[in-house]
Amino acid sequence: MTTQNDTTIRTQPIGATKPTATVPMLVGLALTIIATLIALMDPQQTDTIGQHVREAYPQWDASTVTTERTAILGWLVGTGVLGIVGWLTSLWAVRRRKRWALWFVATWFALAVVTAGLTLGTGGAAYDVIVPTPLGLLSALPLVAGALAMFRIWRDREA
């Protein structure tokens, strides 16, 4: 900071960011990427989704189970990709110190909360929940980083 005639001028480069706001956002981005990749690898690795479908509908043939598994996988990957877009655009807005960044991030966070609620709470005819709980919880884990990011962005705004 430089003082001139009792006026304080902050000297900070254009586009500079406070690391307190971006660190949890980068963690959230990483968690979202990991959750999306784990969902993508599930059919080849543990097939949690396929087992979940077979437990709910033991009378279904293999092609119907595959179709249902693909739909659930599509939901997890689609929401993961949207989450990645949300993290990247939010990081851009915060790093550029856009005036509207807080509300932009808050909107993405609200969408993430709604999506996590749907993922963890939507049931079906024979399902308690459509998405297997372990994968649903994994996909909701970035919300913790999002809440911390929201808190830090709000606090940094008031500073």
Q: Is the pLDDT of residue 136 over 80?
A: yes
Q: Is the pLDDT of residue 10 over 50?
A: no
What percent of the chain lies above the pLDDT cut of 70? Answer: 87
- State residue 11's pLDDT score: 46
Q: Do residues 77 and 36 touch, judged by C-beta distance below 8 A?
A: yes
Q: Is the pLDDT of residue 75 over 60?
A: yes
Distance of alpha carbon 53 from alpha carbon 69, whole angstroms: 7
Q: What secondary structure letter does DSSP report for 60?
A: S
CB atoms within 10 A of CB 91: 20
Distance of alpha carbon 126 from alpha carbon 52, whole angstroms: 11
- State residue 64's pLDDT score: 97
Q: Measure Cα distances from 66 to 81, 85, 96, 115 in Å.
A: 22, 28, 44, 23
Distance of alpha carbon 48 from alpha carbon 99, whole angstroms: 43
Distance of alpha carbon 12 from alpha carbon 28, whole angstroms: 26
Q: Do residues 56 and 127 touch, judged by C-beta distance below 8 A?
A: yes
Q: Is the pLDDT of residue 74 over 90?
A: yes
Three-class secondary structure of residue 11 per DSSP: coil
Q: Do residues 143 and 22 touch, judged by C-beta distance below 8 A?
A: no
Q: What is the pTM of this model?
A: 0.85
- Tens-place pLDDT, residues 77-104: 999 999 999 999 999 999 998 999 999 9
* Mean of the per-residue pLDDT values of the chain: 90
The token pair that represents 58 in the structure block: 């033991």
Residue 111: half-sphere exposure toward Cβ, Cα within 13 Å? 15
Phi, psi of 110 (to 5 degrees): -60, -40
Q: Is the pLDDT of residue 8 over 60?
A: no
